[in-house]
Structure formats: structure tokens, C-alpha cells
Amino acid sequence: MQNLWLIPALPFIGFLINGILGRKLSKAVVSAIAVLSVVLSFGLVVSVGLSSGWGEHPIHQHYFTWIRSGGVDIGWDFMVDKLTMIMLMVVTGIGSLIHIYATGYMAHEEGYYRFFAYLNLFMFFMLNLVLGANYLLLFVGWEGVGLCSYLLIGFYFVKKSATTAGNKAFIVNRIGDFGFSLAMFLIFITFGSLDFGKVLSAAPGKPVEVLTAIALLMLLGATGKSAQIPLYVWLPDAMEGPTPVSALIHAATMVTAGVYMCSRSAAIFLKAPIAMETVAIVGLATAVFAATIGLTQYDIKKVFAYSTVSQLGYMFLGVGVGAFSAGIWHLMTHAFFKALLFMGAGSVIHACGGEQDMRKMGGLKKYTPWTCGVLACASLAIAGVPGTSGFFSKDAILTAAYGHAPWMFWVGVVTAGMTAFYVWRAFWMTFWGEYRGGDAGHSHDHGHAHTHGHDDHAHAHNHSHDHDHDHGHSHSHDDHGHDHHGTPHESPWSMLAPLVVLAFLSLAGGFLFNVPKFLESMFPLHEEVPNEEMLMGVSIFAGLIGIALSYFMYVANKELPGKIRKALGGIYTLVYNKYFVDEFYDATVVRPIIEGSTEVLWHGLDQGVIDGAVNGAGTGSRSIGGVLKHLQSGNIRSYATWVVVGAVILLITVGMNGGLIR
Amino acid sequence: MDPQVLMQTLGKGVPTSWYLALSAVLFTIGVAGFILRRNIITVFMCIELMLNAVNLSFIAFAHEHRQVSGHLFTFFVMVVAAAEAAVGLAIILTVFKNRSTLNIDEIDSLKN
Amino acid sequence: MDLFFFLLFAFIAVACAVSVVLQKHPISCALSLVGTMASLAVLYLLLGAEFIAMVQVIVYAGAIMVLFVFVIMLLNAGEESSKGRSWIAKIAGLPALAALLGILGYAMLTFYPMVGPKASLVHFGDFTGGGAKEIGTALFTEYLLPFEVTSILILIAILGAIVLARKEID
Amino acid sequence: MEFLIITSIKLALILFVFMTTLAYLQWVERKVIAHVQVRMGPSRVGPHGLLQPLADVIKLITKEGVLPPHVNTFYYLAAPFLSVFFALISISIIPFGTGVEIPAFHMGGATYGPYKTMFELADANMGILLVLAISSMGVYGIALAGWSSNNKYALMGGLRSSAQMISYELPMSLAIAAPLLSIGSLNLRQISDAQAGYSLGVIPHWAIFAFPAPQFFSFIIFMIAAFAETNRIPFDLPEAENELVAGFHVEYSSMTFASFFMAEYANMVTVCSIATLLFLGGWQPLWPAAYGSNFVAPLIFAGAGAICMLHGMNPARPFDRITLPVFGVIFFGLAGLMAFPPTVPILMPMFWFLGKVGFLLFVFIWIRATLPRFRYDQLMGFAWKFLFPVALANLLITGFLVALVS
């Protein structure tokens, strides 16, 4: 009998120890606790997998009744089936690797214990989300990971941009959670339960309109958590957090929760074709939209952030066209290569001493060969080069999309080409050519192009002022730029080892894990699509074109990008500024709310109506009191007599009206 | 009312209404004391008398309905009365210290 | 027997209550009130409320009234002065009281007739649900919240009394 | 009718024994204190001053009762009466033995009995609460005495007394509540019966030793509060001679004065009986009858008789030649009665109960001879800042342990 509760409990224990005692513990102990708790959890997942035939025989465990009130009966139930198994493996496996990576990456940070406490708490909530056997438990995890995300984005809380980004992530997610809550209410009203088993088995018999409403509300929740249009805006800003956080939370695990939820609720979605169509379109639109923005960014983490948004769009496309298993497959492979990309980016940033602007990198391959190698693997995978993991999953989605609607396939292929282009653009800019960083004079002026997520890297092992980092890391950005002349360096092995593992998985993940086959019992395989080889060829071709084009533009012919930029002019500015979406939201949503509440609620309602009523009441009572004050003799016995007289009158009145008649 | 029937009844027990009537009488006496007396402590004691009268009717009702709830109400009334006595007497002490009088008719600063 | 005890202690209770109102000296009032409370305790016993009867004596007669006596002795309060006037109390007081008593008595006799099929009688030993066990059970299950709230009330009363008493010191 | 007769007989017996005890308690106290202070104590009136109480009573009765002109006559005269009344009435609830059963017998052609009666005047369902209630009323006597005497010392005494008794009632009640938690009854007889039995064969199940929550601290707290409730040294501030010139009874004389003393001694006996019933297992012997606890009483009395005889043979004073052998014979007779099998089950419980009460009374006197008096603020501070929290904690722990075991 496997105790499923131990899986989330171990990180939680780690959180408690590190959170409560961490300040007193040495860094070695803190990291040992944090890493061990997650690795043990991973071990437990593996043992659960072995004993249950990797989810072949679903496990369902009831621990205690959490809420029982009226018709609501919600237990603390965990369950493991194949879908959960995949998520568990991804979350704990990649989580372990990233924890190991983070011990190296965060080694010189203040608040080391705090970071790992949050990270462990995140693992707890994420595992809760994945293991929960009803929507409310899923929601608990959902909100919990949101909280941890907020805490970790704002990890450098002395930096205003970081706290702002944290707030943004939290608030934008609230909109999505609102949708999800409504979906849960609707589910409860419709099905009378929140248990997955009961809800999903009863779903086919319910009216389509209700199911569509539920599915659309869930989609709203998913767009918040998984950064889809229109709520994707928080994810790029979330790169303010430390890079391991970006890798774990904002690339590999938390943002995929929306995909997981939709797949989990497949029974509902399958009965709501309109919702499915919406999911597919939202996913596709997000994929294209984010990819175009990704083409123009210079901040290496921003590029990968938009890439994440885009790839999540792919997953939703897969879900929307009914290829749930393909979506999950892409979720998994994406977790491999995107975590790798971020961690590689972290390694690069680390090497450059906190620099994130790709224009100040270049030629790093000779300084950081390992990083270069693993990033190449990841880039190959995301570009969909045949044989790599990304190729299989992406191809599965595109094929399914073609079966659903051919135009979706073509848009997807174009997006794939763009993806390959911008990822390899980043790769070439970073590793090829000459090292452009370190020359004095421009280390001050790159702040406008990207957010300041690199303060977390403001350290270097061979640094002359290593010691005062503990006091001043958060404002050491500029000092840092100067100190870092010309000697990018390879990262320590605690960081590189996880990268190598992930690189292997990125390349071979597609062969190793045939997810659609594995999930066949849950999600039937898609029917055969005609011309499959042709489609495959097209998508491979798109990816190779993207790679070639990027090589052409950023390695062979370096003047070309500038020319194109000039030629496109307005369009380039539009895309470079991310289509002004933030500004658009600011103008259409944020400002009206502020203005409205100032004008209507404050000046109008509060000062006008409420204050008026209060003042009026005051004036009125004063004038009435002027008359009544003659009654107030200040004599207690008079008052008592009045009370008695009143009581007598009251009793007589009641009696007259039948109160005293039996 | 037939006297003979009444006597027969009284041989078996006391009517509940007598207890209630006693309670009413005591309550009225308490109110009378409250209205008529001027010593603040006596007035306070008359409040206690009223509370006791009410307690008696609670107990009588408890007996009538064979429920223990009436006892609990009485219990709570007693607890509240204890708290009230503690605070009230402290207030009386303070009042006496400041004004050297216990006559409630002279304690009327809130007038007008 | 019931009738005898009821009449005896009802008489004592009423006599003492009247004495509370009519006695000139506060100490006499206080002791009369103790007499009322003690006879009420006996009536409670007759009604089967043995625990409440004991608490009545311990808390009311033994603690609260001792506090009153203590304060009266401390202030050395003499007979009350007849200063002050309340025209409303003088005019409306007695009629209102009479009306109150009349209405209350009427209501009680309407709902609880002395004789007839609906008459309910109190006989000692009829009701035995007033023991410590029953009260405790009800107090810690059904009435737990009021109980806890009362404890907070007492805490507040203690604080209030201490705050008021501190002024006396300085 | 039968009940009335039996109760009247019991009442008469108890009253006689109790009043005598009260009178002789005074003698015992004087003797004990004298011996503590290496003096002789009363020894003139009667052998070893044994007739001293009688002489005192005659003196007090025949003295003129002074009625001072400035007092509030009604309350002045009511106060000692109230004190004695409340002190004596609580004795009626206290059981002091198991009971006696007289089988039916023929006499003069008629059959009487069988008779069965318990050794107590009233078997109250809520005995312990009733005792608390009555003892809490006792303060009125003292307070009224102090107030009605119209004397500033007396008033101070009365005020001190009422404040002190209210304050110490709290820890006392809490200390009582703790053993009741594990015993689960308010009836004094049941309380005592519940403490029967021995663990490991020898350790009695008295509340102070009881599993799971030995009430030792409760016992100590109860005894301290009892000292305060009875206005005994070291808590005798209401009647502190050297501060208040005897406090609340400064204006009293003759029998009214004696009444307060009687009330004080009666209260002492009451609280000692309650302590015995609650904490010391009532009439349960210290070790099982199987190990010969029934032979303690005969042995003690026989020993006393033997000593009397021994001294009688070699008298210190001329009349000892007569009195000591008389006492010796009486003691031997008592020893025989205690060893007489049919009376053993009746007398043994009574012996153990009275023995324990006597021991506690001795402790009272012993402490009076040993400890100085508290200062008034220390007294109140001790009650509220030490005794009350400790009693509360003790109750809490007891409740926790009892809940844990059950």
C-alpha cells in the first residue's frame, strides 16, 4: 500500500523546516533538506508507479472528510492514474533537477533558506494539484501554486519591478480563478459533487449548454494560469523572479496546470464542441501572437518567456482539437526542453555576470562549452528537428490539427518556423560571433530594453567583492557590469549536471516516452490523417527553414536584421513593444477602474450620497433631539418610570392583538 | 372557580401558575424599588431582585416543560449578575469617591 | 407538604422583597435580599433544580451579596437622603406598577390555569433533571458557545473592575 | 414517624458529642500549644485540667452580657446567632461512618425493627455544594458583627473578613472540584465510598494518592484556604489582637463572645471533616483490614489504658490514685468494644474517620503554635496571585489526566 499523501507531505516538511528554522541553519543543511525532500518525493512517485503499473491500476485514497455541510461532501482524496502519473513524474523529476540546479545558482543569495522554503511549498501545492481527486483539492493546489509563484516572482522584494511583477501575476490570475470558481460552482450545481470520478462519468448525460458554460469558464481559469490570450501578460513579467523559478514554475510545471485541468476534464470538453473550438483558437492565436513577439526581443529570458507562452498555445491547440494525449506529450517534452532552455539561459546569464541582453553577449561557446552544447540540444528539440523530443509531440499536435481543420495546421507550421527562428536567433546571438559584453560605456543603458531580472545573478565566484553581496545584491547591478570585464565563465557542476540530464531527455524524450500510446486507454488515439508523411515533411521543413534563416541573419549576414528592422518600421515597433498589449490593458481596464472608482465611488457615492446621508441624519437627529431633550431630566427614576409605562403600553398592545389570549 | 376542586388540586401539588405569580410579584416589587428608592446601592439591589424573579420563572418553566434549558438560562443570568455586580459596585465606589453622594437624583450630569 | 413549603417560602420571599424596598438602611435592604434569595433557593429545590439552588446560595447569597454588604460597609452608607424629585415617578409610578402586575398576573393565569384539565402542578420529585450531571452535559454541548461567551464577559468584567479600582489607588 | 424518632436520637447524640468536642477542643488547643511552648497548660481544674472547659462555660454563661449603647441592637444580637447557626448546620450533612443496622427484635410482645440508619443527619444529594453554600453564608455573621458594633476596629475586622472569605472561597472551590472530577459524585457518602480499595494491595485509593491524578496539591490548597475560611492563624487578620484589638468581636462579651469561638471551632471541625472525606478517604483505613488495620484502635486504647494503670500505680498527685485507674478501665473497655466482632464494622469506620479529623485538627493547632500572622496585602496577594492560579492549573491538569485515562 503506497501512501500517496507522503508525496506532497515531504516537500511540505521541507518547507516547514526551512521556513521556520532556515534562518538558523547553514546553507548546506538548507539545500540538503530542500533537495532531499523533493528527490525522496520523486523516489516515492517512482515506487508508486512501479507498484501500480505506471497508473495502469488507478489508486484512489481517502484520508479524511474535509468539508461536510448540507449537500457538500468533500474529502481529502488523492488519486493516481496514468495522466496523474505523467504529471507526477514531470513535476517531481524536473523539480528535483531544478532544485539541484538552484543550489548552485542561488548559492550566494541572501534569503537562501527563504527561496528553498518557497520552492518546497510550491512543490507541495503542485503535487496537491496533480494528486487531488476532486476539483476543490485541485483548486487548493491551483491557488497555492499561484501564491508561491507570487512569492517567488517577488523574491527580490526590495526591487520595485519584482514586486510589481508579482502583483501583476497575482491579480491577472485572480481573473482566471474567478472563472474557475464559477466553473466549480456550476459543476457542483449540475453534478452535485466535485469528485472527478462522479463528475466525469456523469458528464455525457448533461445538457450541452451547461457543459459548454463549464468548459468555457474552466478555459478562462486555464488562460490565467497557463498564460493564454487574453491573460498571458503576467508571464513575461514573471521573469523578474530567479531563473530556477522561471524554469520550474513558469515553464515546466505550474503554467501547464491549465493543460492538465483541461485534459482531466476531457469528458466535459468532449461534449462541448464550441468550447473545444474556442480552446483550439485561443491556443493557436496565443501561439502565433507570442511567437511574433518572441522574434524581436533581446532579453534572453523574455525570448524564452514568449516562447513558453507560444508553446503553451500549442498544447491548448492540441487539447482543443481533441488530441489530449498529444497536448500532454508536448507538455512533457516542453517541460524538458524549456526547463533546459531557461536553466541554460540562467547559466549564460550567470556566466556573463547578470547580463540578460543578448546584444551584449556573443561568442560564449568558447567560454561555456557545456552550456552551449546543452542549449543546442534544447534548441534542436524546440525547433522540431526530427528525432528530438519536440519533433514528436509537435508533430502529433499538428497532425491532429490538420485532421480537425487544415488552416490550423498551416498557421501552426508557420508558428513552428517562427519558433525555430527566434530560438536559434537567441542561440546564435549568444554563442556565436564575438563577445560583445564587458566593454565599458554601455553597461548602463541596457536597462530600458528589458526588465531587471538579472540582479539575481549579481555574483560571480571569482569576484573581488563576493562578501558584500549578502548586503547589497539587489542594487549591485551596475557595479556588476563593470566588474565583469570580459571573462565569462562556465557554471559549477551542480548547475551543469541537471542540464546534461535534461539535454539527454530533450533529445531522446520522444523515443523514450510515447505518451499517446501510454494514454491510449484514457484518450483514444486520433484517427489516421491522410498525407501524414507530407505533413510531417512540411513541419520539419518549416523548422529547418527557421534555423537556416536565423543562421543566415545572425551569423552569416549580420547587417540584414538591421535592414529588415528599418524596412518594417512601424510593424517592428509594434511587435517589439509586444503589440502594446500592456498599454492597451492599462488604457481599457486599469485606468477606467481607477478613474471610475475615483469619480463615481469616491466623489459621487461616498462624498455625495453616503456623507450626505450621514450628515443629513446628523442634522435631522439634532433637530428632533432638540424637541425630545425636554424628556431627558437626567433623573434615572424618571427614566425607569418611562420604561415601565412603555412596557405596560407594549404589553397592552400585544394583549389587545391577541397575544394574551389562549 | 370551585373551591372544592381547588383544594383537591392543591392536595396533589402547587399549580405552576402560583410560582409564576410569585415571580411576577417579586418582579413588580423590584421595579417599585427601582422607581421609589434613591440610594444607588438599593436601586442596584432592586435590579438583582428583578433578575431573581425572572430566574424563578425560568426554573418554573423548566419544571413545566421538563427541560434543563431553563436552569441554564438561570445559570447564565447568575454569571452575568456576578459580572454586573463586580463592575457596578466598582462604578458605585468611583461615583461615591468623586461626588460623595449615593443619591441617584443628585447624579445627573448628563442632563441637557 | 408542597403547598406548605411553597406558601412558607413564598411568604418569606415576598416579605423580604417588600423589606428590600421599604427598609431605610442599605444593610437591612441587603440582608432582606439575602433572605429573598435563600427562600428562592428553597423554591428552586421544590422545583427540582437542586444544582441551581446551590449555585443560587453560593454565588448570589454567598458572593454577590457579600460584595454588596462589603461596599455598603466600606462606604459606610447611611440612610438615604430624600433630596431629589421625579414628578413622573410620583405620578405615573404606582399606576404603572399596578398595571404591570395586573397584566403579568393575568397573562400567567391565562396560560397556566390553576385548575382544570390544562392545570399543571408542581410536585416535589416530579422533575429530577436539574442535577449537576444534566446541567454540565447541556452546558458543554448545547450551550457551549454561550458558555464561552460568558467566560469572555467575565474576563471583561474583571478588567473593568480592575480599571475602575485602580483609580482609587492613585 | 420511625424516621423522625431515629433522626431525633441521632440529632441528640450528635449535638451532645459535638458540643462537648467543641468545648474540649479549646482545652486540647491550650494543652498542645502549651506543650509546644514547653509549658504545662491548664492543669488546675480537674485532672490535667480536664474540667477546665466546664469551668469556662460556667464562667461565660454567668457573666453579664454587656450591650453597648452605640450599637445597632438588632444586628448586634443577630450576628453571633448567625455565626453559630451556619457553623452548626453544616455538621448535619457530614457522614462520619458507614451506618448501623439493628435486626428486628421482640420486646413486650411487639416486634420492632429492623432498623437501619446511616451515620449522618441528612444525606444530601449535593452534599459538598451544600457545605460550600452554608460556609459561604457564614461570612454574614462576622461582617454584621463588625459593622453593627459601630467600632472602627470591629468594622475593619468585618471588612477584612468578608474580603478574605470571598477571596479564599475561589481556590477552595477549585481545590474541591479537582478530586470531584475523578470521583464523579457530589454526595459526601459516595465520595468517601469511591475512595475505597487499594492499589498494589497497600496504597489506599484516597484522593491524595489516587490514580491518575493524585490530589496532593489540591489537598494543600484546600487546607490553606480552610485556614483562611476559618480565620485561623496565619490568616486570623479579622481578629488580630495586636492590630485590631480582637477585631470584629471586640464589643462582645459573655455568651455572645463565646458564640463566635464556638462557631470558629465548629467551622474547623467542618472543614477538617470535608478534607478527610474528600482527600483522605473518609473512613477508609490506611491499610487493608487483611493486614490488620482493625487492630489499631484496640491496641491504641489498650495502650492508653495500660499507661493510665501504670501511672495510677505510681501517682504524681494524691487523687491520681483514683482517677487514673478509672480512666484505665474506661480505655480498656473501649479497646474491648473495638475488638468485639459485631461492633467492629460499625466502630472501625468511625474510628478512622474521627482519627483523621482529629489529626487535621491537631495540624490546625500545631500551625497556630508555629506560624506568625500574614500582612493584609500579602494575604490577598497570596490568594489571588498564587493560590488561585495554582488551583486553576491543578484543576486543568487533573481534568486533562482524567480525560486522558477515561
Tens of pLDDT, residues D214-224: 888 888 999 99
In this structure, of A324-338, A541-555, D143-157, D237-251, the range with the lowest mean pLDDT score is: D237-251
Contact between A233 and A585 under an 8 Å Cβ cutoff? The reply is: yes
Q: Which residues contact A298 (CB under 8 A, 6 or more apart)?
A: A357, A358, A359, A449, A450
- Three-state SS for B93? helix
Q: Which chain C positions have a beta carbon within 8 Å of D186's beta carbon?
A: 132
The widest CA-to-CA distance across chain B, in whole angstroms, is 62
Do C and B share at least 3 CB pairs under 8 Å? yes
The answer to whether A630 faces chain C, any CB pair under 8 Å, is: no
- What is this structure's pTM? 0.58
Inspect the structure and tell me whether chains C and A have 3 or more CB pairs less than 8 Å apart: yes
Cα–Cα distance measured from residue D60 to residue D171, given in angstroms and rounded to the nearest whole number: 36
- Cβ–Cβ of C84/B91 closer than 8 Å? no
Chain C hits for B59, CB-CB cut-off 8 Å, are 43-44, 47, 49, 52
What is the nearest CA distance from B43 to chain A, expressed in angstroms?
9
A130-159 pLDDT tens trace: 999 989 999 999 999 999 999 889 888 888
The confidence score (pLDDT) of residue A484 equals 44
Chain C residues touching B2 at Cβ < 8 A: 115
Chain C residues within an 8 Å CB radius of B30: 17
Is B103 in the C-facing interface, judged by CB distances under 8 Å?
yes
* CB-based contact C156 B35, cutoff 8 Å: no
CA atoms of D373 and D235, how far apart (whole Å): 6
D253: region left, alpha or beta (phi > 0 left; psi from -120 to 50 alpha):
beta
The 10s digit of each residue's pLDDT in D335-390 is: 888 888 777 778 888 888 888 899 999 998 888 888 888 888 888 888 888 888 99
pLDDT at site A487 = 65
- Best mutation target among C27, C70, C74 (most D Cβ atoms within 10 Å) is C70
- How far apart (Å, rounded) are the C-alpha atoms in residues A387 and A506? 10
Cross-chain residue pair A640–B34, CB shorter than 8 Å: yes
Partner-chain contact B17 C113, CB within 8 Å? yes
pLDDT at C39: 92
**Tally of CB atoms within 10 A around B54:** 17
Strand D203-204 and strand D115-117: the pairing is: unpaired
The confidence score (pLDDT) of residue A127 equals 92
Helix (H) or strand (E) holding A38: helix A27-51
- Lowest-confidence region among A220-224, A613-617, A632-636: A632-636
Cβ atoms of C89 and A638 within 8 Å: the answer is yes
d(CA D239, CA D241): 6
Q: Which residues in chain C are contacts of D144 at CB distance < 8 A? A: 27, 31, 69
pLDDT of residue A121: 92
Do chain D and chain B touch with ≥3 beta carbon pairs under 8 Å?
A: no
Q: Which of A182-191, A447-456, A571-580, C11-20 has the lowest mean pLDDT?
A: A447-456
Spatial separation of the C-alpha atoms in residues C130 and C47, rounded to whole Å: 9
Please give the Cα distance from A536 to A534 (Å, whole number).
5
CA gap B13, D401 in Å, rounded: 46
Q: A54: pLDDT confidence band, cut at 50, 70 and 90?
A: confident
Model confidence at A633: pLDDT above 70: no
Interface ipTM: 0.73
**Which residues of chain B does C113 touch, with a Cβ-Cβ cutoff of 8 Å?**
15, 17
Nearest CB to C96; choose among A638, A641, A661: A641
pLDDT, one tens digit per residue, over C31-82 is 899 999 999 999 998 888 888 888 888 888 888 888 888 888 888 766 666 6
Q: Is the pLDDT of residue D251 over 70?
A: yes
Q: What percent of chain C stands above pLDDT 90?
A: 11
Tell me the residue type at D37. Q
- Most confident range (mean pLDDT) of A403-417, A518-532, A621-635 is A403-417
Residues of chain B with pLDDT under 50: none
Q: How far is CA A368 from CA A346, A374, A426, A457, A620, in A?
A: 12, 10, 15, 16, 81
Burial class (CB in 10 A: 0-12, 13-18, 19+), D315: middle
Determine the Cα angle at D174 with ends D169 and D178, to 5°: 150
CB A176 within 8 A of CB A214: no
Residue A465 binned pLDDT confidence (cut-offs 50, 70, 90) = very low
H helices within A132-272, ranges in order? 135-153, 160-191, 196-202, 208-225, 234-237, 243-247, 257-264, 266-270
CA distance A271 to A293: 34
**pLDDT > 90 in chain A, percent:** 12
Mean of the pLDDT values across residues A2-20?
A: 87
pLDDT at A232: 85
Residue A80 DSSP code: E
Q: What is the mean pLDDT of residues A4-21?
A: 88
- Residue A124 predicted with pLDDT over 90: yes
Contact B28 C97 (CB under 8 A): yes
Average pLDDT, chain C: 82
The one-letter amino acid at A244: P
Q: Three-class SS string for chain C? A: CHHHHHHHHHHHHHHHHHHHHHCCCHHHHHHHHHHHHHHHHHHHHHCCCHHHHHHHHHHHHHHHHHHHHHHHHHHCCCCCCCCCCCHHHHHHHHHHHHHHHHHHHHHHHHHCCCCCCCCCEECCCCCCCCCHHHHHHHHHCCCHHHHHHHHHHHHHHHHHHHHHHHHHHC
- Tell me what pLDDT residue C15 has: 92
Tell which wins on pLDDT, A572 or C39: C39
Question: Hey, are the CB atoms on D143 and C62 less than 8 Å from each other?
Answer: no
- Alpha-carbon distance A405 to A280, whole Å? 10
Q: Please check whether residue A640 touches B, CB under 8 A.
A: yes
> C68 and B89 in contact by Cβ < 8 A?
yes
What is the C-alpha separation between C25 and C7, in angstroms, rounded? 28
Q: Diameter of chain D by CA atoms? A: 71
Size of interface B-C (CB pairs under 8 A): 267
Say what the pLDDT of residue A461 is: 41
Contacts of B110 in chain A (CB under 8 A): 632, 634
CA atoms within 13 A on the CB side of A628: 6
pLDDT of residue C126: 75
Q: Please name the member of B35, B108, B111 whose beta carbon is closest to the beta carbon of A640.
A: B35
| Averaged pLDDT for residues C136-156 | 87
**pLDDT for position B41:** 87
Min distance A634 CA to chain B CA atoms (Å) = 4
**What band does A120 get if pLDDT is binned at 50, 70 and 90?**
very high
- The answer for B 35-74 residues in CB contact with C (under 8 A) is 35-39, 41-42, 44-46, 48-49, 52, 55-56, 59-60, 62-64, 66-69, 71-72, 74
User: What's the sign of the alpha-carbon dihedral A194, A198, A204, A207?
Assistant: negative
Mean pLDDT of A112-125: 91
Binary contact (C54, D133; C-beta < 8 A): yes
A42 pLDDT higher than 70: yes
Confidence of residue A482 (pLDDT cuts 50, 70, 90): very low
Q: Report residue D316: phi and psi, to 5°.
A: -80, -35
Given a contact cutoff of 8 angstroms between Cβ atoms, the answer to whether A419 and A310 are in contact is yes
Range list of β-strands (E), B4-63: 14-15
The yes-or-no verdict on residue A601 having pLDDT over 50 is yes
Give me the pLDDT at residue C167, please. Answer: 58
Cell numbers found for residue D133: 453554600
The span from the CA of D230 to the CA of C58, in Å, is: 17
Q: Quick check: B108 and A644 CB within 8 A?
A: no
- CB neighbour list of residue C10: distance below 8 Å, 6 or more residues apart: B18, B22, C39, C43
A645-652: long-range contacts at Cβ-Cβ below 8 A with a sequence spacing of 24 or more? A645/C92, A645/C96, A647/C100, A648/C96, A648/C99, A648/C100, A648/C103, A651/C100, A651/C103, A651/C104, A651/C107, A652/C99, A652/C103
* B109 interaction partners in chain A (CB closer than 8 Å): 634
Minimal Cβ distance to C110: which of A633, A648, A660: A660
pLDDT tens readout for residues A266-305: 888 888 889 999 999 999 999 988 888 888 888 888 888 8
A-chain residue closest to C102, CA distance: A648
Question: What CA–CA distance (Å, rounded) separates A563 from B11?
Answer: 119
**What pLDDT is recorded for position C118?**
63
For residue A214, the tally of other CB atoms under 10 A from its CB is 28
Q: Are D79 and D144 in contact (CB under 8 A)?
A: yes
Asked whether residue A413 carries a pLDDT value surpassing 60, the answer given is: yes
Q: Do chains D and A touch (3 or more CB pairs under 8 A)?
A: no
C-alpha separations of B28 from A307, B53, C22, C36, C93 in Å: 85, 9, 14, 14, 11
Residue from the list B17, B42, B97 with its beta carbon closest to the beta carbon of C109: B17
Task: Spell out the residues 6+ positions from residue C2 whose beta carbon is closer than 8 angstroms to its own.
Answer: B13, B14, C46, C122, C123, C124
Whether the pLDDT of residue A609 is over 90: the answer is: no
pLDDT at A125: 93
Smallest Cβ distance to D158: which of C51, C63, C73? C73
Q: Contact partners of A by the rule of 3+ C-beta pairs under 8 A? A: B, C
pLDDT at D240 (0 to 100): 65
- Whether the CB of C61 is below 8 Å from some CB of chain D: the reply is yes
* Residue type at D10 in one-letter notation: K
Task: Name the minimum distance, in Å, from the CA of C84 to any CA of chain D.
Answer: 28
Distance from CA of C14 to the nearest CA of D (A): 21
How long a stretch of residues is chain B?
Answer: 112
Distances (CA, A) of A285 to A317, C44, D171, D397: 9, 82, 77, 68
| H-run or E-run covering A69 | strand A59-69
Q: Report CA A337 to chain centroid distance, whole Å.
A: 16
Q: For B111, which of A634, A641, A644 is closest by C-beta distance? A: A634
Cα nearest neighbour of C105 on chain A: A660
Q: How far apart are CA D84 and CA D260, in angstroms?
A: 7
Alpha helices in A552-634 (DSSP H): 560-568, 570-576, 581-585, 591-596, 611-628
The residue among A632, A637, A639, A648 with the most chain C CBs within 10 A of its CB, best to mutate, is: A648
Q: Report helix, strand or coil for D281.
A: coil
Cell 405596560 maps to which residue? A648
Taking the C-alpha atoms of A237, A240, A241 and A244 in order, what is their torsion angle to the nearest 10 degrees? 90
Q: In this complex, do A644 and B35 lie within 8 Å of one another by their Cβ atoms? A: yes
Q: In sequence order, what are the beta bridge partners of A59?
A: A80
The answer on pLDDT for A87 being more than 60 is: yes
